[in-house]
Structure 1
Amino acid sequence: MRRLLSDFVDDPIYNMKAVEQQTGISAATLRAWERRYSLVEPKRTASGYRLYSDRDVALLRWVRNQMTEGLTISRVVAMLLAMRQHAEPIWIDSEDAAVTPQQEAPVPPPSFVQPLYQALAALDADRADEIMEQAFALYTMTTVYVEIIVPALVEIGEAWHRGEITISTEHFASAYLRGRLMGLFQAYPNHHDMPMIMVGCAPGERHEIGALIFALMLRQHGYNVIFLGQDVPVGDMIETVMHERPAMLCLSASSASSARALTELASGLSPLGPSAPLVCYGGRAFDQDASLRHEIQGHYLGSDPRDAISAVANLLSARNGYSV
């Protein structure tokens, strides 16, 4: 089966590590090709990270396969330029779009957790930047979110409870990570033609990093995502839903009290009838106390945000046939 290169989505969503894994082209080679041939022109996040689109990845696979057939990179680039100058369509065969097996990174992701924690505990933003940049260069963004940032944040919280760091240090760490994640969230395009998903924190819930990571992952997967932030009162939440009419509302709670504050939400949304959004929830409160899941009307998305993304897709597909 063949597809036109122009049919591939051009939204920037993949970091360099993900492109390496999907194309088999090393980061060093890719950067050299960009400098010398302008083969692809990735977008940049506010922090300077390269982001590539499905179209970029498809083109790079096409180039890789041409070279496998014996052509040099300069010959492939010349052929590509000629095709573009004559407005010839570029067809991508199914084998060109095949994903190459992922190669293991030289060190496991958890090895970054303690260094990141130590940098944040020392209020050393420069060192934290270095660690984050190394992690993003080695792993996919989702891996960095789930296996490095979240565990480091948990360690920060536990250190505060043990009295090993001050509340000001905990606030610094949270502010630093929130800033990095919000920069990425704002760098990704919002797909206004896709179902709207609102993501926020339950009333009284001040810990928003988990919800922000989930909102970022949803936006990366092509949804129209509105991030409401921390401590959203039920009344304001209902008013916003009534006005915006999202397809889904996803809420996070880390404590039982903030989780139980969501019990009034279902009755407040009842006037919308069948057009009411799907209500989903997650967070440490629901992960640690399964009984809370029966007190709140809605769908528990699980403890792993990667599984939660799949659950969102299944729920939207079952209700309205949406897919991304």
Structure 2
Amino acid sequence: MSTYSIKDLEHLSGIKAHTLRIWEQRYDLMHPKRTNTNIRYYDDEDLKLILNVALLNHHGVKISKIAQMSPEERKNQVVEITSNVLAHEDQIYALTVSMIEIDEEGFDRVLTANIDKLGFEDTMTKVVYPFMVKIGILWQIGAINPAQEHFMSNLIRQKLIVAIDEFVYHGGGRKFMLFLPEGELHEISLLYAAYLIKKRGHKVIYLGQSTPSKDLEAVYQYHHPDFLITVITSSIEPKALKEYIFDLGNKFKKSEIILSGFQVLRQKIKLPPNVQLMKEMNEIYAFLESSNHIVGEK
């Protein structure tokens, strides 16, 4: 069971802490607990409640009416709204609640509905990635546990793999080798890059999570890719990170290396000439367009 302060609830729901306190006192919506030292805190049920209340209130339902609803009535109205209204913030609320509840059917229903109506790319960029930013905040405040994070990641991963499998490489284009360094397991961004690259007709050599350096070199020597893409999000010492980046640049001089991930972006490192940063996932669109223009030069 995770615990939250009133400020955590404010940050995650978008409802000011002052307003939450008024709702709590006037409508008896939440029942904060207290630590042994008399500090107020809230639990998962309170967070789910406030996310649902925020969504209903955003859609014009008065707080006084929401307070009179049973939990089942609130849940049914939320399901109806998120099934028929594709406001991105509403979908993010729904995914967050499903993750907290470990509700696979609910999580899948939201993702599938968005993919059907928005398309896969818009769902990823407008719903899934903002949702993952919110999950990052939950991690920082210690508000979700590994089971919840693994649950969410695996469901998104499954959707990405199914989407990638729709495309068959027919020759031509550039060669992209995608991998994560040893010890790195967060591959959603890498999978999405593989989807975008493969969809645009390029060849993808996908090595995935925690790729040993010797294996990376062996595959490189066999395929001679034009580009290497990796993402580094796990904690690493600045000196070790710099050494790793320069090692990549030196070992794979004939290829262009594209780096992304929190650990790379947060540190100012002078990069080797064949290494460039990708700050946001939407930058890959422009990059792939420029790659298409120069395919004939290969």
Report the TM-score when normalising by structure 1. Answer: 0.58
Residues 168-190 of structure 1, C-alpha deviations (whole Å, 9 max, x = no match):
21111111111111111122222
User: In the alignment, what sits opposite 1:38?
Assistant: none
Residues 75-100 of structure 1, C-alpha deviations (whole Å, 9 max, x = no match):
xxxxxxxxxxxxxxxxxxxxxxxxxx
User: In the alignment, what sits opposite 2:262?
Assistant: 284
Q: 1:304 pairs with 244, 266, 280, which one?
A: 280
Query: What is the CA-CA distance between 1:224 and the residue it aligns to?
Result: 1.2
Pair 1:249 & 2:228 matched: yes
Note the aligned Cα RMSD (angstroms): 2.5
Determine the C-alpha separation between the residues in 1 that align with 2:163 and 2:245: 29
Determine the C-alpha separation between the residues in 1 that align with 2:273 and 2:183: 19
User: In the alignment, what sits opposite 2:108?
Assistant: 129
What is the correspondence of 1:179-190 to structure 2 with a 5 Å cutoff?
A: 179-190=158-169
Query: What is the CA-CA distance between 1:242 and the residue it aligns to?
Result: 0.6
- The secondary structure found in structure 2 opposite 1:225 is strand
User: In the alignment, what sits opposite 1:156?
Assistant: 135
User: In the alignment, what sits opposite 1:262?
Assistant: 245
What is the correspondence of 1:1-324 to structure 2 with a 5 Å cutoff?
A: 107-255=86-234, 257=236, 259-260=241-242, 261-270=244-253, 276-289=254-267, 291-292=268-269, 294-315=270-291, 317-318=293-294, 321=297
User: In the alignment, what sits opposite 1:90?
Assistant: none
Determine the C-alpha separation between the residues in 2 that align with 1:136 and 1:267: 41
Letter in 1 for 2:256: L
User: In the alignment, what sits opposite 1:22?
Assistant: none
Residues 88-117 of structure 1, C-alpha deviations (whole Å, 9 max, x = no match):
xxxxxxxxxxxxxxxxx9643333112112
Letter in 2 for 1:156: I
Name structure 2 gaps, 5 residues minimum: 1-83
Determine the C-alpha separation between the residues in 2 that align with 1:194 and 1:109: 34
Report the TM-score when normalising by structure 2. Answer: 0.63
Q: Percent identity?
A: 18
Name structure 1 gaps, 5 residues minimum: 1-104, 271-275
Query: What is the CA-CA distance between 1:208 and the residue it aligns to?
Result: 0.8
Determine the C-alpha separation between the residues in 2 that align with 1:187 and 1:108: 27
The alignment covers a number of residue pairs equal to 211
- The secondary structure found in structure 2 opposite 1:231 is strand
Q: Greater relative contact order: 1 or 2 (C-alpha under 8 angstroms, separation 6 or more)?
A: 1
The runs of at least 4 aligned residues of structure 1 exceeding 4 Å deviation read 315-320
Q: How has the CA–CA distance of structure 1 residues 305 and 207 changed in structure 2, closer, same or farther, with 3 Å as cutoff?
A: same
CA contact (8 A) 1:218 1:309 kept: no
